[in-house]
Amino acid sequence: MTGAGEGLSADDVALFTARAEAARPPSQKLPPGQWAKKNLFDGFANIIFTLVFGFAGLAVLFFLAVWVIDADYEIVRRNLRIFMIGQFPKNELWRPAVSLLVVMAGVGFTSGALARNAHDLALEQDLPTEKSSWVSLIRRFWAVIAVVIFFVSFARTLTPYLLVAGAFALLVAGRELGWAINAAVRARAIYIGATIFLLSMLVIAGTSSLGGLSLGLITLFWVAGEVGRRDLPGGVVGLTIRWGIALVAAIVVYAIEVAIPYDGFGWENWGGLHITLFTTVLGISLGMPFGILLALGRKSDLPVMKTASVLFIEFIRGVPLISLLLFSNLMLPLFLPIDFERPADLTLTIVVITGFSAAYIAEIVRGGLQAVPKGQTEAAQASGMSAGSVQRLIVLPQALRAVIPAMVGQFIALFKDTTLLQIIGILEFLRVTDVANVQPDFLGKGLAPVTYLFVALGYWAFAYTMSKESRRLETKLGVGVR
């Protein structure tokens, strides 16, 4: 065996693969005719079951198809804009359009760069790897692509078609750019991606102290990372220099952002699918790091950390999300001083949703941490790794790998939980159905099922893709294969 640091040779890999293949039972793929005979029509009882359920299934499908084709989609056509972005003022529509283009370019760039990074790492270690083809990407994300095209097909003007086409084009271009750009830029892909995402929000919302704070936070970690690459004196001095510079940079960025006079539409005006996806993305991307910290905090030996984590997790998990939302929205303003400017409903909501998902993610991650054998930690410590490195390089990768299905389950649950935003008066995706069905032209026409079908497809496409991607990740990381 070669040492881990020297990498595996191509021969080793071929040998392992051959052995693994030999150990597996032979595949039992039958031609369709034989498969049907073996599974559907062997024996009297099975034939009856197959016929009865087959016909029942086909009948249901047939009537559903007839209903779907016959339904009157005028209500969706007329309200498409509300379904997508809520009550956004008509003369300000360029904002969400630009934002969509920016965010798609950013997603393309970041995913391209990260894919290339993984590709290069695999090449370095002589592992089999290749650039994902566009065909394979379309196959992976077909549900979302199909539903987006379906949604756009309801548009009555050309602009939405052009917008979606432009967004796809930017996604492709961004991905190719991310793949092709030099390694130094790619190494910073996460920070670049986060910055682009934030800027896409600021295009709509305008500059604010909240936006400045978020940009400052990204700057803080980015600059700290940059400074950390240089040679610094060790110990407290080095840490102070590193975070001191980062903090100064963050404050400068904050000051610049706040000083730029660019007004926009505060996110209290956002709605529709936009707000649903937006809260989900923020809830996941903020909740996950926070949740991991909580899980580590709960396993920590420091009594203050441990108590705080346990209290937070158990309080949040013991209370329904709906009551937390109502509390933040209705009760919190009564505690605040009267001349204190009240945060927007959505700000409070995102804080609540982040905290809520963090508490659940923390318990999932804790389960993963417990699954990592103690020997791993001990061996890492024995080889002289610092406490931080042990967690970051040895324990967490194994723990997180083990809990992918539960974690993605939590993400999907969070995505669907965003429908609760309607109880505090936010016009999220599902609530638009109620709003559309009381318009004078559609009142009492029994069109609720049509709108529900439309909305359900939207939820399904994203939830299904998340779940599919999680299974792909599991296979890739070999979860469940020993």
Return residues touching other proteins (CB under 8 A). 78-79, 81-82, 86-90, 311, 315, 326, 329-331, 333-335, 338-339, 342, 423-425, 427, 434-440, 443-446, 448
Q: How far is the CB of 75 from other proteins (least distance, A)?
A: 9
Question: What residue type is 243 in one-letter code?
Answer: W
Nearer to other proteins, 38 or 342 (CB): 342
- Please state the φ and ψ torsions of residue 261, each to the nearest 5 degrees: -85, 90
- Which residue, 89 or 375, is less far from other proteins as judged by CB? 89
Q: How far is the CB of 76 from other proteins (least distance, A)?
A: 11
**Which CB, 21 or 339, lies closer to other proteins?**
339
| Residue 234: count of CB within 10 angstroms of its CB | 8
- Provide the CB-side half-sphere exposure for 126 (13 A, CA): 11
Residue 333 or 367 having the CB closest to other proteins: 333
Of 81 and 298, which has the nearer Cβ to other proteins? 81
In the 3-class helix/strand/coil scheme, how is the chain assigned residue by residue?
Answer: CCCHHHCCCHHHHHHHHHHHHHHCCCCCCCCHHHHHHHHCCCCHHHHHHHHHHHHHHHHHHHHHHHHHHHCCCHHHHHHHHHHHHCCCCHHHCHHHHHHHHHHHHHHHHHHHHHHHHHHHHHHHCCCCCCCCCHHHHHHHCHHHHHHHHHHHCCCCCCHHHHHHHHHHHHHHHHHHHHHHCCHHHHCCHHHHHHHHHHHHHHHHHECCHHHHHHHHHHHHHHHHHHHHCCCCCCHHHHHHHHHHHHHHHHHHHHHHHHHCCCECCCHHHCCHHHHHHHHHHHHHHHHHHHHHHHHHHHHCCCHHHHHHHHHHHHHHHCCCHHHHHHHHHHHHHHHCCCCCCCCCHHHHHHHHHHHHHHHHHHHHHHHHHHHCCHHHHHHHHHCCCCHHHHHHHHHHHHHHHHCHHHHHHHHHHHHHHHHHHHHHCCCECCHHHHHHHCCCCCCCCCCHHHHHHHHHHHHHHHHHHHHHHHHHHHHHHCCCCC
Nearer to other proteins, 144 or 424 (CB): 424
Closest CB 440 distance from other proteins, rounded Å = 5
In this complex, which beta carbon is closest to other proteins, that of residue 257 or of residue 345? 345
Q: Give yes or no for a contact between 212 and 222, defined as CB atoms under 8 angstroms apart.
A: no
Minimum distance, C-beta of residue 78 to other proteins, in the bound complex (Å): 4
Q: How far is the CB of 335 from other proteins (least distance, A)?
A: 7
Nearer to other proteins, 448 or 477 (CB): 448
Tokens (6 digits) for 335:
């505690």
Minimum CB–partner distance for residue 272 and other proteins (Å): 9
Would you say 130 or 341 has its CB closer to other proteins? Answer: 341
Q: How far is the CB of 134 from other proteins (least distance, A)?
A: 36
Residue 326 or 372 with smaller CB distance to other proteins: 326
What is the closest distance, in whole angstroms, from the C-beta atom of residue 284 to other proteins in the complex? Answer: 27
Minimum separation from the CB atom of position 370 to other proteins (A): 22
Helices 189-205 + 94-124 axis angle, to 10: 170
Residue 270 or 356: the one with the smaller Cβ distance to other proteins is 270
Do 395 and 421 form a contact (C-beta atoms < 8 A)?
Answer: no
Least distance to other proteins, CB of residue 12, Å: 53
Q: Please, what is the minimum distance in Å from the beta carbon of residue 420 to other proteins?
A: 12
